[in-house]
Structure 1
Amino acid sequence: MKNAILVPTDFSDNAWTAVIYAAHYAAKHNWQLHLLHTYHEFSNARAGIKFTEEVRTSMSETATQNMEKLETDLRVQFPDLVFTSACMLGDLSKTVLDLLQTDQYNFLIMGTKGAGHIKSATIGSNTFELIKKSPIGVLAVPQNYQHFKLEKIGLLTNFKESEAQLLRSFTARIQATLDLVLLHVTEKEESPALTDVEFWKEQIVQRFPIKNIDYCEKNAVYRLDYNMPIPKCIDWMIEKTQVDLLLVAYSRKSFFAQLFSRSLTKSIAHNLLIPTFFLRNDIKV
């Protein structure tokens, strides 16, 4: 039975933000929390065997000490929370994907920026990599996010069935009735027909545990005197509707893939205003 949340950490402040956010989820639903830290094996052809072993031992001991401190800090804030931890040698993305095959996790929750900008395996870049590969999606938490509230969610929509799959996947996991806002970005000021919007709203209310449903749209504009690209439209709608969490169906051909194509870590770190749940649109639930 799925009753746990997996949270990778590199012991950075942003990873800690994700840990605390996940702990709120776990405490609310009486789930377990699994903390994971991975580190790469030291290898240098010019180094001697003794030196190599000393470095490996030091890396393992440092990881263990950092995890013990994280556990202590977490117990201070959540004394009744049941959680486990592991420090494992290996690649983060591969290790996480292997663990997700056990089918015991409700959510994979990650921060959006790692401990160092120059590292090749930061939490941020791995977050994007796992968004593309995770069978259960990724709930990404913005850096320095301080609030936990889950009453109103926003669904970024183009009125496609894959978005209904996304909504089903999320609501089935949390077993709660929420308010929903449909967020739609228009282009060339071509709004969908009101009858189409109302039909989609009615379909969602009939199929999912939704209390209230609203609709918000914003037109994307690309002009020298006024620039409102798709990411800014999304931010505008989030602030206007005050949703607590955003749902996004990921597709390689979507605006999301285009948005993060240049600088993955930087883009993810600087473009999330609120926690966002990403799920590949080819996953059937």
Structure 2
Amino acid sequence: MKRILVPTDFSDQAKYALDAAHRIALKTGAALVLIHVIEDATVTSVHYTGEVELPEMTDRLFMMRMIEKGKKKLEKLATSEAFSDIVVEQELRIGSPYHNIRDIVSEQEVDLVVMGTKGSSGVEEFLIGSNAEKVVRHAKCPVLTIHEELQNHSLETIVYATALDEDEIASFEVVKIFQAMYGAKINIVRINTPNNFQPDRVALKELEEFAEKLKVDNYELRIFNDNSEEEGIIYFAEQVKADLIAMATHGRTGLSHLLGGSIAEDVVNHTRRPVLTYSLKK
């Protein structure tokens, strides 16, 4: 792991994500890339040194003030004494937070995105979702979402929710990286739901065969019954007091996403635990 991207809007959630990314960087020797995006609906993604066409002088002056303010806050954060033990780079961009995060992941070959999120629910979730939700769905690298401050920065117990998809085998390597970093035990769980039910004896046998393919150590296989995959993952994680939930997402888009949604995005929105996700289609 060489480069970790941390989006920041200087909120508490962003600070929690930066603290988590700092700890990971110390363990892996990775550099942190801090990105702050000045939101502008008229453009999608542009570096602050690029030309941004603004129709009114008042808009131009307002944007220049926002850029200057953001630049100062970003520089103060990146040069803080707290991060003197790692390499920290800065990126200030204009436009859509999601599009800028997506672009920098590709441009700089980012290995991990660590970002804070407040989650969302109800009408807000249905209408607009969140930047974190979009990044989870589309990112070309693993994404770690942080909701709350991590008290001891220890990941002793990881819940890995599996759909027994063959594509997970290669992607599971990122979970093993986190396991090795923290010496964690992995609970590999299959969620039994009314619409996708299997007797425990059948489900456990499939889990055993799948775990052999994953080539993982220090793990436990579990079957958990609930009304939905999302609820099952969240409640099982509560039951075992998990420090991290890890799972894959198929990164649905368009109509298929509207109709089927994404279990990973739902979990990110509704749990308070850190969630590590990666898109199988990437």
TM-score, normalised relative to structure 1: 0.76
Aligned twin of 2:88: 83
Asked if 1:219 corresponds to 2:213, the answer is no
Aligned twin of 1:21: 20
Task: Return the alpha-carbon distance in structure 1 between the equivalents of residues 78 and 65 of structure 2.
Answer: 20
**Matching residue within 257, 264, 268 for 2:261:** 257
Task: Return the alpha-carbon distance in structure 1 between the equivalents of residues 162 and 180 of structure 2.
Answer: 22
| Counterpart residue identity of residue 143, structure 1 | E
Instruction: Tell whether the 8 Å contact from 1:245 to 1:274 is kept in structure 2 after alignment.
Output: yes
Task: Return the alpha-carbon distance in structure 2 between the equivalents of residues 174 and 86 of structure 1.
Answer: 30
**Matching residue within 194, 201, 208 for 1:198:** 208
Task: Return the alpha-carbon distance in structure 1 between the equivalents of residues 107 and 177 of structure 2.
Answer: 19
> Residues 31, 49 of structure 1: CA spacing in aligned structure 2 closer, same or farther, 3 A cutoff?
same
1:1-285 correspondence to structure 2 within 5 Å: 3-41=2-40, 49-71=56-78, 75-113=80-118, 125-171=130-176, 176=181, 178-188=184-194, 190-192=198-200, 193=202, 194-204=204-214, 207-208=215-216, 210=217, 212-221=218-227, 229-251=228-250, 252=252, 257=261, 268-269=268-269, 271-283=270-282
> SS of 2:118's equivalent?
coil
> Residues 78, 274 of structure 1: CA spacing in aligned structure 2 closer, same or farther, 3 A cutoff?
same
Number of equivalences: 255
> SS of 1:11's equivalent?
coil
> Residues 241, 174 of structure 1: CA spacing in aligned structure 2 closer, same or farther, 3 A cutoff?
closer
| Counterpart residue identity of residue 22, structure 2 | A
> Residues 32, 213 of structure 1: CA spacing in aligned structure 2 closer, same or farther, 3 A cutoff?
same
Identity %: 22
Per-residue CA shift, 1:228-265, capped at 9, x if unaligned?
x443322221122233222111123799825688xx8x
> Residues 40, 78 of structure 1: CA spacing in aligned structure 2 closer, same or farther, 3 A cutoff?
closer
Task: Return the alpha-carbon distance in structure 2 between the equivalents of residues 151 and 166 of structure 1.
Answer: 21
Task: Return the alpha-carbon distance in structure 1 between the equivalents of residues 205 and 238 of structure 2.
Answer: 26
Unmatched tracts of structure 2, length 5 or more:
43-53
Unmatched tracts of structure 1, length 5 or more:
222-228
Task: Return the alpha-carbon distance in structure 1 between the equivalents of residues 188 and 118 of structure 2.
Answer: 28
TM-score, normalised relative to structure 2: 0.77
Per-residue CA shift, 1:165-198, capped at 9, x if unaligned?
3312443588656422112211246334233232
Task: Return the alpha-carbon distance in structure 2 between the equivalents of residues 92 and 148 of structure 1.
Answer: 27
Q: CA deviation at 1:82?
A: 1.7
| Counterpart residue identity of residue 113, structure 2 | L
